[in-house]
A and B are shown apart, each in its own frame.
Chain A
Amino acid sequence: MSNNNKTPRIGFYVCHCGHNIASVVDVAAVAEYVKTMPGVVISREYKYMCSDPGQELIQSDIKEHNLNRIVVASCSPLLHEHTFRNALEKGGLNPFYFHMVNIRENVSWVHTDKDAATDKAKDLARAAIQRVWFHKPLEKKSVPVNPDVLIVGGGIAGIHAALTIANAGKKVFLVEREATIGGHMAMFDKTFPTLDCAACILTPKMSAVKSHPNITLWTYSEVEKVEGYVGNYKVTVKHKPRYIVEDLCVGCMDCIDKCVFKEAKFSDEFNQGLGKRKPVYIPFPQATPQVVLVDPDTCLYLKTGKCKQTCVEACDRKAFDFQQKEKFQEIEVGTIILSTGFQPFDAKRLPEYGYGKYPNVYTSLEVERLVNASGPTGGEVVTRDGNHPKTVGIIHCVGSRDEKTNRWCSRVCCMYSLKLAHLIKEHTHAEVYNFYIDMRTPGKGYEEFYDKLLNEGVHFIRGRVAEVTDWTLSQAEAGKLIIRVEDTLIGAVRRIPVDMVVLAVGLEPHHDAQDVRRLFNISCSSEGFFLERHPKLAPVNTFTDGIFIAGGCQGPRDIPDTVAQAGAAAAEALALINAGHVELEPNTAYIREEDCSGCKSCLPLCPYTAITFDESKKKAVINEALCKGCGTCVAACPSGSIVQNLFEDEEIFSEIDGLLKFDFSCCKPMEVNHA
């Protein structure tokens, strides 16, 4: 029954917590009461148990009075269970001979009746005293951490994290699903507020990634399966076929020149559909790796099998391989960083703005490509009907701050709308109108940038645009798109004819973010972004140990904050790697093999897939490192052969028994009806 064949020698401490507990609970009375319980050797009250003297008190009592169990009645275990367990350890006792009772959040902070509160504290203390006797000594398990890191997503976040970790001397696998790294930043022309050329600041980092000895760059690849736990992940990566042997191609692009399609005629995704490409193509000139790829949906040979294959002829490196198939590769890493980014809001969801209906309505990303010198128009801002616009309207908050689409503010649109206003004006000298609800410029140099724009003669109209229409009312409006809006600051309803409309679309999670996060077993918020462990204190950690998030996948953010988060995630990963091992909480479940009947009821119940079946022994096995101690299998096992450390049956039942014991001395005998 008892576990050390020793009699219990319990030390009990009730904390005043200053006024927090003592003002409601009569702590002296609690200490007095507990002193009368069997097995209790020491019963003290103290002002601040979590303080150094408080902890030293425990340590000295253990030594002096040969205590073998400790109970502290104070605040929430979430705060100080760790503190007191350490105190036990320093006093020479196994830290799991400790139990904590919460008489602050559960008693003094929620009740006003002092007598009732004191009684409740006594009940809780009694229950704990009865329970702690059944505690067993437990050891924290230590698992080694594999020093390799997997980074999923090769945008600026992934690139920065990869370089940081690689420079620290650790090996990095950078997996990117597109054919090139660079993400959305590679599509931008200039970045706010400095108007740095995006490609100029990004491409050095991209080539650093390519040439770094510690980084294995896998583009056009996706993560297929993830198994394992912190420090020991086993990941299967799928390499999609480019139909080009990557190591042989040098990016000379002769094949593109010689393709049987003389004219490019397929929609160019990188240029947001504004330009055309051939079936064999490179996403953009500075793509990393500098390797072409073949699109199986448009390549004549791959679709019909009949083609002259002039591309193969043109390639003097013999890099083409039309027989290429999907390839799977397994790697082992210790930590994973997810930096999978965002997707822009689909403007077609707001029919009132006419995107897709009127050819001269553009999204901001499309305009980024228009103003970009390496874009489909060579940097000339021309509308789809070939004209240079004389008036341009930029509409803020498209898809954001809206109950019907996305409720959140996408954080960067005000700033990039200012930037686009500047670039459009610079390229075309058109009259530019920005229609906004609020002007959000929180970052360094952002407000100054707004001031610069104000002084460039851009019209700022505070009013959310109700609709963009082709219904015209006068000669001046003929052939243009009309923006109807209330100019709320001046107090007038206005109709503004424009040649071109730019929609500042918001940022939202990728359409397959749910699939990705399930693959890695992390949570997401109600908006669909990956969920951080704590919004203020742990923005890059997730609830899954060893997996970190950074950048647009966690929430809409600009480049400085993305880079900061990527560095933070890298630091978290390096901290784990540097520690070399991870300590796991021992409140895990284990199976008593001799009692297990092999019924397999527990296997599908585990939310952490920690239970496997040993076919040779025909018994279930729990992976201690994956087990989070939720107790589901323990409760479900029909033969009761699963036991959970720290929550064994004896411990729980004795606690319940302690709670239910009632002190009858305070009341008269009841009339009991024996009918």
Chain B
Amino acid sequence: MDQPRIVPNAAVSSAPGELDVRRRIKYEEELDHAFPNRIAELAHGEKFYSCIQCGTCSGTCPVSHYMDYTPRRIIAMVREGFRAEVLNSQTVWLCASCYACTCDCPRGIKITDVMYAIKREAIEQGVYPKRFPTPVLANAFFNQVMKDGRSSEGKLMMKVFLGTNPFKAFGNMLLGMKLFFTGRISMKSERIKDRKSLKALLAALDRLKEAK
């Protein structure tokens, strides 16, 4: 998909001793008016067009006060085609899928599904900080399950630490040992017996996708 030309927030004046002033106007050419349809399709026709911007989602979200753009703003930006801002925001990576927004939305919009759709779009477009844990975890999880049919938490955590910040692994070593000694973690792989049928299932899906 073609990325729209993004005009950077170039500094207008930022020499030492001066205010860091930037030109922030948004032109229509920078927006991607096919973006809302793309997200609607990924979230299977989600009716975020009905959003009245009431802010209940942001009000009930337990992590909204950490986000650069609250869920409500994300929906507004998706509708107007602010593709770059949405995909580059931290919002979707902070979302813990607690479904509080989906349950409280007065328009019945499945906001969690919209977040998942944006996550999938971002991962597909490769738009996220290089060693950010969430997509690394998602990909590692995905690959493990595709191969073995089950996830092996010990190996998974190792993969995540190596893929993001190996030093974190050391920080969590005490925790890891405690888990090991209480029998709550092992390094062995969990596998299903009939891996063939799972492979067939996933291959059939790939074929379905190609056919579209």
A touches B in complex, CB < 8 A? yes
A50-88 vs B, CB cutoff 8 Å, 1 = contact: the mask equals 000000000000000000000000000000000000000
Instruction: State whether A401 touches B59 (Cβ < 8 A).
Output: no
Instruction: State whether B59 touches A485 (Cβ < 8 A).
Output: yes
Instruction: State whether A486 touches B107 (Cβ < 8 A).
Output: no
Which single member of A397, A404, A437, A438 contacts B108 (CB below 8 Å)? A404
B70's closest neighbor in chain A, by CB?
A: A486
Interchain CA distance A240-B58 in the complex, whole Å = 52
A454 interfacial by beta-carbon distance below 8 Å: no
Interchain CA distance A438-B55 in the complex, whole Å = 12
Instruction: State whether B65 touches A488 (Cβ < 8 A).
Output: no
A331 interfacial by beta-carbon distance below 8 Å: no
Instruction: State whether B58 touches A486 (Cβ < 8 A).
Output: yes
Q: How far is the CB of A204 from chain B (nearest CB, A)?
A: 41
B59-82 vs A, CB cutoff 8 Å, 1 = contact: the mask equals 110001100001011000000000
A403 interfacial by beta-carbon distance below 8 Å: yes
Q: A residues within 8 Å of B by Cβ?
A: 352, 397, 401-404, 437-438, 462-467, 484-488, 491, 493
Which single member of A401, A465, A466, A493 contacts B52 (CB below 8 Å)? A401
Q: Which of A404, A437, A486 has the most CB of B within 10 A?
A: A486
Residues of B within 8 A of A487 (CB): 55
Instruction: State whether A404 touches B59 (Cβ < 8 A).
Output: no
Residues of B within 8 A of A402 (CB): 106
Instruction: State whether B106 touches A464 (Cβ < 8 A).
Output: yes
Instruction: State whether B107 touches A485 (Cβ < 8 A).
Output: no
Instruction: State whether A404 touches B60 (Cβ < 8 A).
Output: no
Interchain CA distance A437-B56 in the complex, whole Å = 10
Which single member of B52, B55, B108 contacts A486 (CB below 8 Å)? B55
Q: B residues within 8 Å of A by Cβ?
A: 52-60, 64-65, 70, 72-73, 104-108
The list of the 5 closest CB pairs from A to B, nearest first, reads A466-B59, A466-B60, A486-B58, A464-B54, A486-B55
Q: How far is the CB of B144 from chain A (nearest CB, A)?
A: 36
9 other A-B residue contacts (CB within 8 Å) besides A487-B55, A493-B65:
A404-B106, A404-B108, A462-B55, A466-B56, A486-B64, A486-B70, A488-B54, A488-B58, A493-B58
Residues of A within 8 A of B57 (CB): 466
Residues of B within 8 A of A467 (CB): 59-60
Interchain CA distance A403-B105 in the complex, whole Å = 8
Provide 14 A-B residue pairs closer than 8 Å at the C-beta atoms, listed in order of the A residue: A397-B54, A401-B52, A403-B107, A403-B108, A462-B55, A463-B54, A466-B58, A484-B59, A485-B59, A486-B64, A486-B72, A488-B72, A491-B70, A493-B65
B101's closest neighbor in chain A, by CB?
A: A466
Interchain CA distance A437-B72 in the complex, whole Å = 13
Residues of B within 8 A of A486 (CB): 55, 58-59, 64, 70, 72
Interchain CA distance A462-B104 in the complex, whole Å = 17
